[in-house]
Chain A
Amino acid sequence: MAKRTLNIVESAYRAVMEEQDDTILWLLAAMQGANGAHTVVLRGNAVNYAISGQGAPGITVGGWKQTQAPKMDRDVADLIENRNIPVYVIEEDLAERGIARDELIPKVTLLSRRALPALLADYDLVAHW
């Protein structure tokens, strides 16, 4: 059985347009496909990834046009619905950023910052991204 790994993800919108993915969420999806057992906690600015309806159009540079611009909400939903990766979102970080619960995609699980220590105890490995 794979080691249960909790991944606390706080990095947000770093190189996502260039990579057309958040490279940490992408990595975890790939590792899950290689028989991983991953869970994600979105904290800090990364809680913004759970907001429904986000995404900018692809950029253009001269004659070059981006055709596969990323949408973070779509990728978070994909982790949950298609890859069996539960996603927690720290509720205090949402509140601090003025984000209401009804702005989020369905199926994310709200978690209080105070509950993090207990959650860490449930996992074999904890990675902080």
Chain B
Amino acid sequence: MSQKTLTIALMDAPYESANLTTAFRILDAAVRRGHNVNVFAYEGAAALAFARQAPHPNPVHGKNVAEENHPTTKDQVTALLAAAEQNGCRVDWVNCGMCVDERGVNEFVAGTRRGSPADFQAFTEASDNTLVIPTK
């Protein structure tokens, strides 16, 4: 299959929904195949790339920070971008600006950017396909 450009819209905030686990699995699968991926991170998803997320220990299970190795979505985003570069494709990750502002999450990991609904519209026009993963 030739290289495609796919757009995925996300809405869920980190740590609140199983949707994001699935979303990252889909994104990873797309990038492993070498497809370009546009991500429009809307509403709570605008916090997925927030640079100030920090892992924590797990006192219930007696694990320190290193042992717990707690996932952060910012690291998953960074890893996705790195995988894209290795596979000869690109990820354009856009955080909806007003969603970022109202949540105060306006420090993003490198390689992601601030944007608007106009970006999502442009993404859908330029993509071979679009998947919206809504929140409930």
Does A11 belong to the interface (CB within 8 Å)? yes
How many residues does chain A have at the interface if contact means C-beta atoms less than 8 Å apart?
A: 19
Does B122 belong to the interface (CB within 8 Å)? yes
Contact of B125 among A2, A14, A24, A128 (CB under 8 A): A2
Determine whether the beta carbon of A34 is less than 8 Å from that of B130: no
Q: Which residues of the partner chain A approach B72 to less than 8 Å between Cβ atoms?
A: none
Contact of A27 among B117, B122, B125, B135 (CB under 8 A): B117
Name the interface residues of A33-87: CB closer than 8 Å to any CB of B.
33-36
Identify 21 residue pairs between A and B in the complex whose beta-carbon atoms are under 8 Å apart, listed by A's number.
A5-B124, A11-B135, A14-B135, A15-B43, A23-B42, A23-B43, A27-B117, A30-B116, A30-B117, A31-B117, A31-B120, A31-B121, A33-B118, A34-B121, A35-B125, A36-B121, A127-B9, A127-B132, A128-B132, A128-B134, A129-B134
Chain B positions within 8 Å of A, measured between CB atoms, are 9, 42-43, 116-118, 120-122, 124-125, 129-130, 132, 134-136
